[in-house]
Structure 1
Amino acid sequence: MRRRTFIGAMGGSTVAGLAGCLTRDGDDETGNGDSEPENPDLEGELTVATYESMVDGDNPAGPWLKEAFEAEYADAELTWTVPGQGLTHYIEREQQNADLEADVYLGLNVDDLVRIDDSLGEGGLFRELNVDRIDNAGRIRDGLDMGDPHGRVLAYDTGYICLVYDETVVDEPETLGALTEPAYEDSLLAQNAQSSDPGKAFLLWTVDAFGEDGYLEYWRDLEANGVRILDDWSESYYGAYMNEERPMVVSYSTDQVYASAEEYDMSRHQIAFPNGQGYANPEGMGIFERASELDLAYEFLDFALSSEAQAVVAQRNVQFPAVSSEHVDLDEEFDQYAHEPSEAVTVGYEALRGKLDGWVEDWAREFAGQ
């Protein structure tokens, strides 16, 4: 899930709790070779790769993180890098055994880990983390384990894909199946699962709901009922939905935070959780296997889970913090307008391995161009 720029496993769909088992295979629970040094090297330039809206746009979190991290570590410099191809850039560099020129990646999803392992082999690209070196890791909420069997990533925020709708035009859909009924004909805007994080998340939600053998038939029913699929979230939300071309869009459950800040009519920004569910999309951070500034990288992961950093990231990214509520203070407006589903669902790492590309490709052949 990528930050919205408007503000500065199958059969196991409920997200599992944090397992606390992030150690290298065969090693004991105290370390994986990244044991904490007596005198860590906290001098130098730490390079953190991320996506563009973390560092650019309306009030992004990245500049604050840089300034605050450098204030805490006076002999360190944090440099952001935004690769044009995102994670693909580093997968290709790793395949070529070329310099990665980065220490940390901020913005990993579960499907990214699957893509890494499908491309590079099990446990590729990132180090298996020794969480004993990350004091604040113990603050992470239950339910935000990224499901990686190789323990390479920790969540730093999360969002929930849901439906945003205009209550003056349509009623709240109680189930995903209801979206195929006449009451919702020509109502829904969705995104291309090949090019959009919320689009892919919504597709996986339908795989979870209707099964590997039934999700395409469900999409055929959606298509017959007039679903409109656009390339990305911005086009579907800022373009079609905000121009009132349709009364419902696949979006984020923090939508009302934005609507309230912009003083929009809240009747057009209602949140629907069909079946009481929303699709959870935690964002994670990991340390590259070939990181040159390992000690600073561990300090950055710990810093990103600190109370102040969590509040800034959540509110500027308009997502939920990764740490539990007793460890972070959020604005009253965020607490009021950011909604969480009764049940968070996801398709986990094990179910995605070897299946994700096929599901997306099969979907795209029928629906991506419509």
Structure 2
Amino acid sequence: MNIRHRRAVTAAAAVGLLPLLAACSGDDAPAGTTSSSPTGDAPLSGTVTLVTHDSFALSDGLLESFEQETGLEVEQVAAGDAGTLVNQLVLTADSPLGDVVFGVDNTFASRAVEAGVFEPYTPADLDPSVTALVGEGLEGLTPIDQGDVCLNVDTAWFDAEGVEPPSTFEDLLDPAYRDLTVVANPATSSPGFAMLLATVAAFGEDGFEQYWTDLGANGLKVTEGWSDAYYVDFSGAGEGGQRPVVLSYATSPAFTVTEDGDATTTAALLGTCFRQVEFAGVLAGTDNPEGAKALVDFLASADVQADVPANMYMYPADATVELPAEWAQFAPQADEPFDVAPADVAAHRDEWIQQWTTAVIG
């Protein structure tokens, strides 16, 4: 079995050290290397610090080619899961961790916008499919990838046990699925918060808390982040996990394809999906604003968009980019994902997380 998924990147420092880091100034430019800025006003130079979640990854040589073409030097800082990333950005808004951030998604972005984390910037000539992903109140951020957060099942486990797998949120309340499900905490995980929002959309503001209470009573396990849920607890990841239902992505089954390529051993439950969009943005207070804009332009470029599926296992934001052939068979997106307006997310995030915590953690 060939299992790959959103992988962690070790970079610069652990989360606890992030507040000690600051964006580097243009005085650190490599000697003799300059390039034009996105606006053509001044040459590019110096160091640009890219702050990301742990799952940021590009093919070898791609980021290096950007550095060679521009004369910029890119330093990377990984800040944990997207929820942790946003928390760090908000806490350090007056002394930013870097110049550009990638990985703030539509479930957490409004919080960062309200905290003044970003300097609005939009690359020129984005495809309409990209700009269509920018929700109200998130203008000035640039969509880089998108994908559906959904429950996944280990179909091989269910086949071996002779049990019909669940297909809906409601199914998971059946005692037949007791102690089989693991999800990530919405207070610390963007996929976890995406599932919380999906249940708000599915059961309403007055009904989602009871759903989570009932799910908790049926043996739900909660982890702090997606990686632990998928790689430690999920039986379908090939790492010894014991739970055959996990919160993951609609693309995940494309990375559990059998060696002959004819089948996959997992499946996404497309009736449980929330569409996640991940953004890049220039951080307010950057010491290298032109370099930061150039890096955002690069992340939105055709080369990076084409690289997204194989390395970050999400759909590129640009719908014109050709996808891997197996995605059509094993990683389709939901026809009607659940949705909650960004304004509602901004207004009720803390309230809904507190209700979830009361229902599940106690």
> Would the aligned equivalents of 2:147 and 2:275 in 1 still touch at CA under 8 Å?
yes
2:92 aligns with: 93
Change (3 A) 1:63 1:102: farther
Cα distance in 2 between the residues matched to 1:248 and 1:335: 23
1:290 aligns with 2:285: yes
> Would the aligned equivalents of 2:105 and 2:279 in 1 still touch at CA under 8 Å?
yes
Cα distance in 1 between the residues matched to 2:292 and 2:358: 41
Cα distance in 1 between the residues matched to 2:119 and 2:133: 19
Cα distance in 1 between the residues matched to 2:129 and 2:333: 16
Change (3 A) 1:364 1:5: same
Change (3 A) 1:289 1:4: same
Change (3 A) 1:139 1:64: farther
1:128 aligns with: 120
2:359 aligns with: 366
Deviation, 1:264, is 9.6
Deviation, 1:172, is 4.8
Residue type of the alignment partner of 1:128? P
Cα distance in 1 between the residues matched to 2:233 and 2:86: 29
The Cα offsets for residues 68-120 of structure 1, whole Å up to 9 and x where unpaired, read as 211322x22222223476333332233xx33x2521111111233332355x3
Deviation, 1:155, is 0.8
Please, which of 56, 74, 90 is the counterpart of residue 78 of structure 1? 74
1:154 aligns with: 142
SS of match in other structure, 2:232: helix
Change (3 A) 1:317 1:337: same
Deviation, 1:218, is 1.1
Cα distance in 1 between the residues matched to 2:75 and 2:241: 41
Deviation, 1:203, is 1.2
RMSD: 3.0
Deviation, 1:260, is 1.9
- Report runs of 4+ in structure 1 exceeding 6 Å deviation: 261-265
Cα distance in 1 between the residues matched to 2:167 and 2:136: 32
1:190 aligns with: 183
Please, which of 140, 144, 156 is the counterpart of residue 133 of structure 2? 144
The Cα offsets for residues 125-151 of structure 1, whole Å up to 9 and x where unpaired, read as 21222x3xx234235447522x24251
How many residue pairs were aligned? 320
Residue type of the alignment partner of 2:55? S
1:116 aligns with 2:112: yes
Deviation, 1:303, is 1.8
The Cα offsets for residues 275-295 of structure 1, whole Å up to 9 and x where unpaired, read as xx5211110011112222222
Please, which of 257, 270, 274 is the counterpart of residue 273 of structure 1? 270
The Cα offsets for residues 270-316 of structure 1, whole Å up to 9 and x where unpaired, read as 22112xx5211110011112222222222222221222211212210
Residue type of the alignment partner of 2:227? S
Residue type of the alignment partner of 1:345? F
Change (3 A) 1:270 1:364: same
> Would the aligned equivalents of 2:112 and 2:118 in 1 still touch at CA under 8 Å?
no
Overall identity of the aligned pairs, in %: 28
Cα distance in 1 between the residues matched to 2:87 and 2:186: 17
Residue type of the alignment partner of 2:118? F
SS of match in other structure, 1:283: strand
2:152 aligns with: 164
> Would the aligned equivalents of 2:108 and 2:190 in 1 still touch at CA under 8 Å?
no
1:5 aligns with: 7
Greater relative CO (CA pairs within 8 A, separation 6+) = 1
> Would the aligned equivalents of 1:50 and 1:80 in 2 still touch at CA under 8 Å?
yes
> Would the aligned equivalents of 1:307 and 1:329 in 2 still touch at CA under 8 Å?
no
1:233 aligns with 2:226: yes
Cα distance in 2 between the residues matched to 1:143 and 1:343: 16
Change (3 A) 1:287 1:116: same
Cα distance in 2 between the residues matched to 1:261 and 1:65: 29
Residue type of the alignment partner of 2:325? E
Cα distance in 2 between the residues matched to 1:228 and 1:39: 54
Change (3 A) 1:6 1:366: same
> Would the aligned equivalents of 1:315 and 1:330 in 2 still touch at CA under 8 Å?
no
Cα distance in 2 between the residues matched to 1:282 and 1:261: 29
SS of match in other structure, 1:108: strand
Deviation, 1:341, is 0.7
TM-score (norm 2): 0.78
Q: Tell me, which stretches of 5 or more residues in structure 1 are unaligned?
A: 9-34, 55-59
